[in-house]
Structure formats: C-alpha cells, structure tokens
Amino acid sequence: MTIRAPEAVEVTTDKIDNLQPYELTDHLERGRVLMFPTPPLELPCDEDLHFLKQQTPEYHTRKNISYYPGGGLIRGIKAPPEIEQRTQAILKDYQQKVEACLHNLIPSFTPGWRSATSSLRVFEENNRGIPIRERSDLIHLDAGTYGAARGDLILRFLTNLDDEERVWRCKGTVFDVVETFAEAAGLERSDALLRDSVLNRVGSGMVRGLSKMVPTTAMLETSAYDQAMRHLHNYMKESDEFQQDQEGIVEIRFPPKSCWLVFADMAGHSCLSGEFAMINTFMVPRSNFRHKEFSPWEVLSRYAAGQSALPPDIPLGT
Ligand SMILES: [Fe+2]
C-alpha cells in the first residue's frame, strides 16, 4: 500500500468570493488541508495578541489554555482573576468569530455540530519534553480528545499568530493509515471493532450524568470507535518505522497570520515548529458528510468487515 501525503489546497480571498456549493467540504472529506493565506475573518487585535503573548505563558498549567463554550469554562491557566478573565474573553470572542466564518464557508457541515474548544498555544512545539502520546511533533491522527466522538469528526481551524512560519509535517490520510497499519496497531478485523462493550455503555451513562454537573468530565466518556482511533493515534506516535519512513511525507509551511482548516482525525499531521497559535475545534456529525464513505467510521467499518479500507473513487464536485 502506498502512503500518500495529505494534499494542501490554497483558498485565496478571490476563491472565497466565488465558491461552488460543497467546494471546500469536498476537499475536507478527502482529508485535505485548506490553507487561507489571508485570514477569512478578523483576528484578535494587536493589543490582545500582545497581552496573550506577554501575560499568559507563566500561568500555563497544561499544554493548551482552552476555553470550553459548552460549560463557559477556561482550563489550563492559573492566574490572577483579571488575567484569566481577559484571556477567557479573547478566546470566547475568537471562537464566536470562527464559528460565524465557518457557517459561511462550509454551511453543510454545521447542522448539529458542537463548538468544542478555543485553545491557545504559546510555547515552541518542538522538543517540549512531554510524554510521547501527548507530543504534537510526532505524526498522528487526533483521537479521544473530546470524550466519546462515536464517529463524529474533529474539525480544527488554526491561526498562526506568530511572526514566524508554523511548520507541519504530514503523512497519510485515515484511509491509507487504516489500510496499511490498522493490523499492526492491534485493531480487530471483526464487527466487534465498532461495537460498544457493556463497560463502555455503563461508563458512558455514568459520565453523562456526572458531566451535567461538571462539564469537563465529559472527556472521560469513550466508545469502541474512540478506542480504535486512539489505538491508531498511539501506534503512529510510538512506531519509529512509521515516523522515520519518508514515503508520503510532506512539509506544509503556514506563514505568519495565516489560517488553515482540517479534519485532524483524517490527515496525519505533526507540528515541527511554531510558538504562538490559536486552535478552534468543532465536532462535526459524520451524517453531515456528503459522501459518508470518506468518514473514518466508514473506513473502520470496511476494515472490520474484511474489505479494503480505502474509499471509492468519487470525482470532486459530484
Ligand atoms: Fe493533532
């Protein structure tokens, strides 16, 4: 099996003014990265950017500082109230702007979607000295970050707020990765792969009850689908062979003040360098796909049924 590099598609301001229906979503469904050389929305003002860059680093308690719109909470920061409140206000405002922008750019993906997090990263991504499964500089598919996705997709809108390029190293889409590495990653080739265990179902019920009082505990929920995606994620990060083999590797450079959009559970990616960025995440129901054959759920279903995980060849625009 050939591992291909995820394609990057440039979306200029001209193109945005003349979009065909499904033009952008068709690319995203195929695991491509949409690059916006000019931001398709208003970025936080210079004063706010200066504040975030100067005031927040010493108060980080996690990899990201994240605002959760669902619970109206901020996590990953322990700072004096005025700093926490201003950080939260900036992250909240930007999430709302991204949401409005995506309603305009990719309307068919938004029904029933969930605004998950508005996150800030202020540290250099390279060699951050964190555990291997949490490292962003090893190529991976995102999995299990938001509790049980159950086949819904992780859509990320990223903004490079730095004065330097942000560099991604990408390799493979979920199609190639499942087709080639699912067995090595320990994924069972049977219908049990996507069937929730009794433990999952009981656990989910308990977590859902608890998350009504403590919204962040929703992250503890899991499902057979999420466990399968987590196995792939861990295999990719922990396999030297996967990380070192150059087949299908491509470097994508995102200039300062540019934005990009991708299903982080469909395009294999890592961040080699870059310091100051915002990451806005939305959970998109897989039923919003125009061609469901491309969704990771369907990819895993085909694999579980002993078929090729690869999707059918559907021409763009049809
Ligand atoms: Fe990621």
**Ligand 1 midpoint to CA 139 (Å):** 8
Rounded to whole angstroms, the Cα distance separating 119 from 282 reads 12
Q: What is the pLDDT of residue 116?
A: 94
Q: Residues 288-305: pLDDT tens digits? A: 999 999 999 999 999 999
Q: What is the pLDDT of residue 219?
A: 63
Q: What is the pLDDT of residue 124?
A: 72
**Ligand 1 midpoint to CA 39 (Å):** 21
Q: What is the pLDDT of residue 183?
A: 96
Q: Residues 198-212: pLDDT tens digits? A: 666 666 666 566 665
Q: Residues 217-254: pLDDT tens digits? A: 566 568 999 999 999 999 999 999 999 999 999 999 99
Q: What is the pLDDT of residue 214?
A: 58
Q: What is the pLDDT of residue 312?
A: 93
Rounded to whole angstroms, the Cα distance separating 159 from 281 reads 12
Mean pLDDT for 23-35 is 98
Provide the β-strand partners of residue 77.
60
**Ligand 1 midpoint to CA 269 (Å):** 6
The answer to whether residue 215 scores a pLDDT higher than 60 is no
**Ligand 1 midpoint to CA 18 (Å):** 31
Q: Return the percentage of the chain with pLDDT > 70, whole number.
A: 91
**Ligand 1 midpoint to CA 141 (Å):** 6
- Tokens found for residue 8: 């990057």
**Ligand 1 midpoint to CA 81 (Å):** 30
Question: For residue 155, which phi and psi values (nearest 5 degrees)?
Answer: -95, 125
Q: What is the pLDDT of residue 62?
A: 85
Q: Return the percentage of the chain with pLDDT > 90, whole number.
A: 80
**Ligand 1 midpoint to CA 26 (Å):** 21
Lowest-confidence range among 54-58, 97-101, 143-147?
A: 143-147
The answer to whether residue 279 scores a pLDDT higher than 90 is yes
- DSSP string covering 144-177, please? STTS--TT-EEEEEEEE-SSS-EEEEEEEEHHHH
Mean pLDDT for the chain overall: 91
**Ligand 1 midpoint to CA 213 (Å):** 29
**Ligand 1 midpoint to CA 172 (Å):** 13
Nearest in space to 149 (alpha carbons), one of 293, 305, 265, 66: 265
**Ligand 1 midpoint to CA 64 (Å):** 12
pTM of the model: 0.93
**Ligand 1 midpoint to CA 225 (Å):** 18
Kind and range of the H or E run holding 263: strand 259-263
Lowest-confidence range among 44-48, 55-59, 214-218, 239-243?
A: 214-218
**Ligand 1 midpoint to CA 121 (Å):** 13
Q: Are 200 and 314 in contact (CB under 8 A)?
A: no
**Ligand 1 midpoint to CA 292 (Å):** 22
17-35 burial: b if 16+ Cβ within 10 Å, else e: eeeeebbbbbbbbbbbbbb
